Amino acid sequence: MATAFLFPGQGSQSVGMGYELYEQHEEARARFETANEMMEDVDLLALMFGLGSSSSDPEGRLKQTEITQPALYTHSLAAMAVLEAGGAEPDMVAGHSLGEYSALAAVGALSFEEGLRVVRRRGELMSEAGDRRPGSMAAVLGAGIAHIESVCEDISAEGEGVVQPANYNAPGQIVISGDVEAVERATGAIEGRAMPLSVSGAFHSPLMEYAREGLAEMLDTVSIDSPRCPVYPNVTAEPTTDPDEIRQRLTEQLLSPVRWAPTLRRMHEDGATRFAEVGAGQVLQGLVGRTLGDDVEAVGAGLSDEIESAIGG
């Protein structure tokens, strides 16, 4: 029985995340404190834990992309430190968008510190890209892939804005992203229920080109090693352990769809029957269930009791 570790992305954050890991586990506390020191001008732990924060709105601050990304990354790697201390190791890993960086750091392709430095800059660049060219995203439920892709292609071809699938999350759950008007027109034309998402930019679309350029420059300075197990990049949904390919896929990721459902299917084909969500929330566990059904087990690994069960299992 192979085990896959999955790492969440934006949308899984909440005030209080990681606090009991900080309180109960020395390995996790060390990760949290290192991150807080590296953030310098931001009291990351106060925002994450909601304790003594100088911000009157820690929840709002935690939703800001440049804060969300290092917060989620830190929580996931703190949970991973506790898992490792208990002897738990994955056979394969993947992360949803930002979570791909957490996955890489979890299996040694990035150091914790290097990964944190990159995700903080990634969040800043994505926020700046959203300011330079505002866009939007919407979740579409109950519509077929081919229909959604066709509508997006037709609207983009008209030349008054672009829209494309951004996340293939699960059967019947796809997120689209692009220029505000183009997204609005697409949601009106798609035969399914559409829900606007509260985001600061059109992530995983051509509107992130400014962020992609800045991230590519930074990634050229980052040391990426071979991971201890296969990583499944969002861009391809195919396993790799090659550092050069990993670097390339991270650069492409900002403009490309997150192929999450295909990733889960490929991991299952490669032997994964147990999926552990390492970090905040339960979003990825739900997507595993919707994509793979009862053939697999999906568990959390972001709280102490969950981690103990994951280690025991």
Single pTM value for the model: 0.95
By CB atoms closer than 10 A (0-12, 13-18, 19+), residue 299 is middle
List, in sequence order, every residue forming a beta bridge with 275; answer none if it has no partner.
4, 298
pLDDT digits (tens, 9 = 90+) for 8-34: 998 888 888 989 999 999 999 999 999
Rounded mean pLDDT of 209-231? 98
Give the number of other CB atoms < 10 A from CB of residue 37: 10
The token pair that represents 153 in the structure block = 């292609």
In sequence order, what are the beta bridge partners of 177?
A: 137, 164
pLDDT score recorded for residue 15:
84
> What are the pLDDT digits (tens) for 269-283?
999 999 999 998 899
Cβ distance 279 to 7 under 8 Å?
yes
The residues annotated as belonging to the active site are: 97, 204
Residue 192 has pLDDT above 80, yes or no: yes
135-199: CATH, from 3.30.110.60, 3.30.70.250, 2.60.40.10, 3.30.420.40:
3.30.70.250
Predicted local confidence at residue 160, as pLDDT: 87
pLDDT for residue 313 is more than 70? no
Indicate if the pLDDT at residue 54 is higher than 80.
Answer: no
Measured at the CA of 77, the angle between CA 232 and CA 308, to 5 degrees, comes to: 100
pLDDT tens column, 118-134: 999 999 999 999 999 99
What residue ranges do the domains of the chain occupy?
2-130+207-312, 135-199
User: Using 50, 70 and 90 to split pLDDT, how confident is the model at 251?
Assistant: very high
CATH superfamily membership of 2-130+207-312: Malonyl-Coenzyme A Acyl Carrier Protein, domain 2 (3.40.366.10)
Per-residue confidence (pLDDT) for residue 41, from 0 to 100: 86
Q: What percent of the chain has pLDDT over 70?
A: 98
1: how many CB neighbours lie within 10 A of its CB? 10
State the average pLDDT for the chain.
94
pLDDT the model gives residue 60? 80
